[in-house]
Amino acid sequence: MKTDSIFYRLFQEFPSIFFELIGNSPQTAEGYKFSSIEIKQTAFRIDGVFLPTQDEENPIYFVEVQFQTDTEIYSRLISEICLYLRQNQPKNSWRGVVIYPNRSLDTADIKNYSEFFTSQRISRIYLNELGEIASLPVGIATMKLVVDDEDTAIISARQLIDRTQQEINIEQQRRQLLELIETILVYKFPIMSREEIEGMFGLSDLKQTRVYQEGKQEGKQEGKQEGAREEKLRMIPLLLRLGLSFEETAKELGLSLEEVLQEKQKQPPSQDA
């Protein structure tokens, strides 16, 4: 799932959800502007930054959404933050928030940065530990929908759609939130047709929006790429039996040597005497 764009859109359209997530009042968002910031003269880009619009007492919030294992995330995040502080010299204090789908992906060593975590300067949030969707505020529940498995997501999405229609009184916010739920569903169920999604989730007014089309296309492309890779992996034992070396097999199939070696290790031992 293309989580970066989903969370960027979520925080941009509903900044109050972020402040609810970290335990602050949703109204705190009124004093902030959300954006993604590239650090000058470096290859660093911070996923998202909530910059105070006026009050110098409010901290800057640096946000990282991490959906894969990264053993260097904390060294990189702290480096990015320090470079930003050096280049911009803000008067405000700062906080860092790292959002994981689950605790198992949080594998980076923090021993050299423990003070940042002890002081709560940097905090970590695990979406799958937020609780049941039915008991969460609608915005946070929408965020948790991203990490639900498909079976759970079907039930949760139906509940969220009903709650959004009942609880969100501002028409524009209600429409934006429903479209965001639709986007998450498109990425979660890329092989389903528009009619199937409409029927399953009661979204009779699901629109052919740009994000819908992009989501469907990306899901199909990912499926094609995965199928092509699986076919290459199936060819590895054959090419090796034909006498090609590991290096030659990797080059022939357009794979890395590590992928070839890993696939070879999965194969049962030869029965030849």
> Mean of the per-residue pLDDT values for the chain?
82
- The DSSP line for 209-228 is -HHHHHHHHHHHHHHHHHHH
The pLDDT value recorded for residue 117 is: 96
- Chain position carrying tokens 């739920």: 181
Same domain, 26 and 91: yes
Question: Residue 42 has which token pair?
Answer: 């470096």
User: In this structure, are residues 22 and 121 in contact, taking their beta carbons and an 8 Å threshold?
Assistant: no
pLDDT in tens, 8-51: 888 999 999 999 999 999 999 999 999 887 665 555 677 789 99
91 plus 181 within the same structural domain: yes
Same domain, 222 and 200: no
Q: Residue 184: its pLDDT value, please?
A: 86
Residues 22 and 67 in one domain: yes
Q: Give residue 251's pLDDT.
A: 81
Residue 185 lies in a domain: yes
Give yes or no: residues 97 and 166 share one domain. Answer: yes
Q: What is the mean pLDDT of residues 217-226?
A: 56
Residue 148 sits in the same domain as residue 75? yes
Output the six-digit token pair for 180: 């965001």
Whether the per-residue pLDDT at 56 is higher than 60: the answer is yes
Helices (H) and strands (E) in the chain, counts: 11, 5
pTM for the predicted model, two decimal places:
0.69
Q: What is the number of domains present in the chain?
A: 2
Q: Do 251 and 188 fall into the same domain?
A: no
Specify if 104 maps to a domain.
yes
273, part of any domain: no
202: in domain:
yes
| 63 domain-assigned | yes
Percent of the chain at pLDDT exceeding 70:
82
Asked if residue 258 and residue 126 are part of one domain, the reply reads: no
Look at residue 58 and tell me if it is in a domain.
yes
Phi and psi torsions of 43, nearest 5°: -95, 10
Average pLDDT over residues 192-221: 59
- Let me know whether 185 and 237 are in one domain: no
Q: Residue 14: helix, strand or coil by DSSP?
A: coil
Domain that holds residue 127: 3-208
Residue 222 lies in a domain: yes
- The Cα–Cα gap between 54 and 31 comes to 7
In-domain check, residue 272? no
Residue scoring higher pLDDT (271 or 29): 29
Q: Quote the CA–CA distance of 65 and 165 in Å, as a whole number.
A: 28
Tokens of 43: 């290859």
